[in-house]
Structure 1
């Protein structure tokens, strides 16, 4: 018995346009009526389409499926299975770390209300960071020798970071110079073998005072947002010991306007 394309679509729950696309890719070859160009599918064709759907559910590309179904011998098919297993393991590692990363962000967002304007002693996790914008000027892409593009491939694990140099902070009444870029924790660099270069800086677990600051809309970021944290440091007998870094936790619209919540770390000694 033969089946029309609409019937096959209902049997396999595959859209008609997709069936035509599979035919275009030479995955399945229904018979065509020379007079009206209507397609006619045999049960054999439906078997191929069922196998195609099964392989798609296993995340094989249509190109792979075409080769598996029409060209591969057993050895070649087995090799594809082994390669797919490696791909699954890589994705498992990726999503396991992504779950951890998302949970960290969830906790930080829940703590914003409690951390805003409050100050705590903490140790910053080892992180690498890469600066690419100074005030409102971006560095030339070619200056990074491909590192910036490589880091952009790992955006789920990358934070948007601000660096405020200690000298500028000391003169924050007359300057607002600061830099923006990306940061990524050392554990993610090691897990994904993310490339580094002499453009990349390392934060090695210094003792810090940490807090959350809130900047508003465009042009509102100011080094003076650190005033409260610097006063807290002085009151407790410490001094600022290096550049301050921070990363954006959220950009949100509150009832009183636009907010950029930024968690900052101030190294102390």
Structure 2
């Protein structure tokens, strides 16, 4: 099934401007166009866009996302390099989660303290 840029934007909850920007910045894998020059997205394109969103939401740099696209376009010989980028990113995400957990514990301690103060009054 084919999708227009507007349909894709709605499906992935991004603006058409953002999708065009991603294409301009070579963050998207090459998008096919129809005879009139309009972008024609496939299911695989939507899956990639959702993966980009995942990468961005977990703090991956645009530079690393671009590097992944470049490596994908170079073919399967780059799989080890792609794996390394993803492993490094995973480590950063795990560290961030650990830091968030520590901060959440501090917040919980403060909430408990306030609750204890309320009970005393």
| Range into which the TM-score falls when normalised by the shorter chain | 0.5 to 0.7
Aligned to 1:67: 67
Measured in 2, the distance between the counterparts of 1:25 and 1:49 equals 17
Aligned to 1:7: 7
Cα distance, 1:21–1:104 mapped onto 2, change above 3 Å:
same
Looking at both structures, which has the greater relative contact order when contacts are Cα pairs under 8 Å and sequence separation is at least 6? 2
Gap regions ≥5 residues in structure 2 = 73-77
Q: CA deviation at 1:67?
A: 1.5
User: Quick check: 1:96 aligned with 2:95?
Assistant: no
User: Quick check: 1:54 aligned with 2:90?
Assistant: no
Measured in 2, the distance between the counterparts of 1:32 and 1:102 equals 54
**Paired residue total:** 110
- Who wins on radius of gyration, i.e. which is larger? 1
Given that residues 27 and 69 in structure 1 are in contact (C-alpha distance below 8 angstroms), is that contact kept between their aligned partners in structure 2?
A: yes
Gap regions ≥5 residues in structure 1 = 116-269
Runs of 4+ in 1 over 4 A off after TM superposition: none
Q: Which has the higher strand share?
A: 1
- TM-score (structure 1 length as normaliser): 0.35
Given that residues 8 and 41 in structure 1 are in contact (C-alpha distance below 8 angstroms), is that contact kept between their aligned partners in structure 2?
A: no
Q: CA deviation at 1:18?
A: 1.6
Trace 1:202-221 onto structure 2 (pairs within 5 A): none
SS at match of 1:71: helix
Cα distance, 1:8–1:92 mapped onto 2, change above 3 Å:
closer
Q: CA deviation at 1:8?
A: 2.6
Measured in 2, the distance between the counterparts of 1:65 and 1:49 equals 16
SS at match of 2:26: coil
1:190-228 deviation per Cα after TM superposition (whole angstroms, max 9, x unaligned): xxxxxxxxxxxxxxxxxxxxxxxxxxxxxxxxxxxxxxx
- TM-score (structure 2 length as normaliser): 0.68
Q: CA deviation at 1:41?
A: 1.6
Compute the RMSD of aligned alpha carbons: 2.9
Given that residues 8 and 41 in structure 2 are in contact (C-alpha distance below 8 angstroms), is that contact kept between their aligned partners in structure 1?
A: no
Aligned to 2:90: 85
